[in-house]
Amino acid sequence: VEELVDLVGLERLRSLELGYGSVQGSIALRRAVGAACGTPAEHVLTTQGTALALFLLAFEVCGPDSDIVLATPCFPPARETLQACGSRVRTVPLSFDAGYQLDPGRVSAVLGPATQLVSIASPQNPSRVRVANDAIHELLRLMRKRAPRALLFIDETYREATYGDDPIPISAASIDARIVTGGSVSKAQGAPGLRVGWLTIADAALRERLTVAKMNVTISGSPLDEALATAILQHGDRILAPRRRMLAEALAITRSWLDSEHRRIEWVAPEAGALCCMRLRSDMFDDAAVNRFWGALEPHALQLAPGDWFGEESRVLRLGFGFLEPDRLPAALGAVSRALNSL
């Protein structure tokens, strides 16, 4: 908050009125999102986090018995919002062994004329692997042939969370009118408590339906949160650069620990964000040892997410390397090694 108050200026914040905001989101925020995503401000609908974006899209596009295609593993609400709306969800499991690369041909195999939505994330959660632009273009081509009514939703919540000086890939928002993207200031910008996110929707009729749905659920976003989020986006690199540097440092520490553990652990290197997927090698740990591993973590006060939480096998783990300050990370990783030793 201190950082943001300095950016916005206390006087400006003091003069803000706390009436309802506009349903679409403040025009300043929509312009800032539009500039970041390469899309007109009119295409942007702000939401309370990408979380609300997922819900609104599921609620509005995916009624009972609609056919939806979802790449997994995924952020659990990406699946649960669809299921809660009664959709038939056909999953396309991406595999650790294939480095969580999305194969458009495999998605195509479950597409049909009744498919209403294809839902993917880039970078994905939990793997933080991106879907390459070529794959998105190929997916659109296949959708045109096999599922002409379908929209392609791309959750871009981690798009800007790149490492150090790595370039930030452009948003898919402007690639094709059938693409809807979602994003927020929660991850790369480190401000999940603001609860500010967005959808970009090129199709005017769909945008209108989603706007009405948002109004019925929340009336509007908070003008205070939106003003702070606008400042975050307007000062893009000033906010992002220190966080990207810290992530790069933490990733380097994690990489060197994983190199030293390569006989016991394999991993898929992430392309963004503060998490990655690793797997306990099956030639070193049988299933019983994997079960014991979770108990062995307890005395070390470590929190790792088990793969079955996001639709993977339990020997896959999601490791967060961005939560601790980098100088505390080696000790935490060493504690994971000691938990493995105890098996």
Estimate to the nearest angstrom the gap between the alpha carbon of 280 and the chain centroid. 24
Minimum Å gap between C-beta 6 and ligand PLP is 23
Point out which span in 22-30, 134-142, 184-192, 307-315 binds ligand PLP (CB under 6 A).
184-192
Q: Is 188 in the site for ligand PLP (CB under 6 A)?
A: no
Q: How far apart are the C-alpha atoms of 310 and 320, rounded to whole Å?
A: 15
* Residue 168, C-beta contacts closer than 8 angstroms, at least 6 positions apart: 159, 160, 162, 240
Give the residue, chosen from 115, 125, 162, 171, that forms a contact with ligand PLP under the rule CB under 6 A. 125
Give the residue, chosen from 61, 121, 199, 336, that forms a contact with ligand PLP under the rule CB under 6 A. 121
Minimum Å gap between C-beta 186 and ligand PLP is 3
Q: What is the Rg, in whole angstroms, of the alpha carbon atoms belonging to the chain?
A: 21
Q: Is 72 in the site for ligand PLP (CB under 6 A)?
A: no
Both tokens assigned to 5: 């108050």
Point out which span in 47-55, 134-142, 261-269, 306-314 binds ligand PLP (CB under 6 A).
47-55
Q: Is 46 in the site for ligand PLP (CB under 6 A)?
A: no
**Residue 109: CB atoms within 10 Å:** 14
List strands edge to edge, sheet with 275-280. Answer: 265-268, 275-280, 316-320, 305-306
Asked whether the beta carbons of 54 and 155 are under 8 A apart, the reply is yes
Q: Is 37 in the site for ligand PLP (CB under 6 A)?
A: no
Point out which span in 46-54, 81-89, 229-237, 258-266 binds ligand PLP (CB under 6 A).
46-54
Minimum Å gap between C-beta 256 and ligand PLP is 26
Alpha-carbon distance values, 149 to 49, 67, 145, 178, 299 (Å): 27, 11, 10, 9, 52
Give the residue, chosen from 3, 41, 75, 88, that forms a contact with ligand PLP under the rule CB under 6 A. 75
Report the interface residues with ligand PLP, using CB under 6 A.
49-51, 75, 121, 125, 155, 157, 184, 186, 192, 197
